[in-house]
Amino acid sequence: MKTIALIAHDGKKAEMVAFVKDHIEFLKKAHIVATGTTGGFVQQTGLDVELKLSGPKGGDAQIAAMAAEGKIAGIIFFRDPLGKHPHEPDIQMLMRISDLYNVPLATNPATGSLIIAGLLD
């Protein structure tokens, strides 16, 4: 079973829930790990979710560590490109780790759908 990480900034959490609902049958076939707050919202869809810390409290870094260890097949991270985020260094580190270890990273629903299709079909 492949592991997919889900992360969404506050302004994108509703979009993440809608995305999960649209792809629920595929996501049921995966192990889902998520940052704390995002994961709480995703759990409301009925999916089992392994919760990490919230992003600002280190959740992004926890997921990056999992990616570096080869434990994550793909990351879906709906970022708010217009918002200011106090944990921006962690966000940049997650993106760098994704590039360094060749882990697919989607930052919007269109690329998220492609990751799901590629990993779970």
Q: Is 45 annotated as a binding residue?
A: no
Evaluate whether 115 touches 76 at the Cβ level (below 8 Å).
yes
Q: Is 38 annotated as a binding residue?
A: yes
* CA 71 to centroid of chain Cα atoms: 13
Q: Is 35 annotated as a binding residue?
A: yes
- Residue 92 CB coordination number (10 Å): 11
- Taking CA 90 as the corner, what is the angle to CA 13 and CA 97, rounded to the nearest 5 degrees? 100
- Taking CA 18 as the corner, what is the angle to CA 83 and CA 77, rounded to the nearest 5 degrees? 45
Q: Is 13 annotated as a binding residue?
A: yes
Q: Is 54 annotated as a binding residue?
A: yes
Residue 107 DSSP one-character state: -
> Active-site positions?
60
Question: What residue numbers does the annotated binding site cover?
Answer: 9, 13, 35-38, 54-55, 87
Question: What residue numbers does the annotated binding site for substrate cover?
Answer: 9, 13, 35-38, 54-55, 87
